[in-house]
Amino acid sequence: MTDARLLPPIPVPDPESAGYWESLSTGVFALSRCTECHRWMQVPQEHCRWCGATTSFEEVSGRGTVFSFIVVRHQSIPSLTPPYVVGMIEFDEQPGLRLTGIIEADPDAVAIGQKVQAIIRPIGESGFSAPSFELVP
């Protein structure tokens, strides 16, 4: 029997985020985008926060820059062994388009402004996947 305390957190999609999780489960990293003004938004929203039009999910490059980060040095998620880095990534697609995720790198190697690339990782055996990030030269 699997010890539930050792499992990673599993997403609980809602109508606005379902497309995000569904695309990741098929290996596509997609974020919410306005169908009229074409601005990206994270967190996903049913209607554009700028013009009110509908949104859809579109694939992003996964390329971005470390906007901020922390190094987790104490065990807070049983499936992640510290130290590890949680970064806020600003995507190349649009200034201010940011998402938080694990940066798979030595904590001493991470700095604000570094370039990263998203990689899609399965969340345990849940059927869900989530983006992590790796440093790129």
For Zn ion, the binding residues (CB under 5 A) are 34, 36-37, 48, 50-51, 53
Q: Which is nearer to Zn ion, 50 or 127 (CB)?
A: 50
Q: Which is nearer to Zn ion, 48 or 89 (CB)?
A: 48
- Is residue 123 within 8 A of residue 129, CB to CB? The reply is yes
Per DSSP, the residues of 26-82 read: TT--EEEEESSS--EESS--SB-TTT--BEEEEE---EEEEEEEEEE-S--STTSPS
- Written as six digits, the tokens of 115 are 């370039």
Which of 129, 135, 133, 134 lies closest to 28, judged by CA?
A: 129
CB of 122 to Zn ion, least distance (A): 33
CB of 23 to Zn ion, least distance (A): 20
CB of 52 to Zn ion, least distance (A): 7
CB of 45 to Zn ion, least distance (A): 10
Q: Which is nearer to Zn ion, 10 or 53 (CB)?
A: 53
Q: Which is nearer to Zn ion, 38 or 73 (CB)?
A: 38
Cβ atoms < 10 Å from Cβ of 116: 24
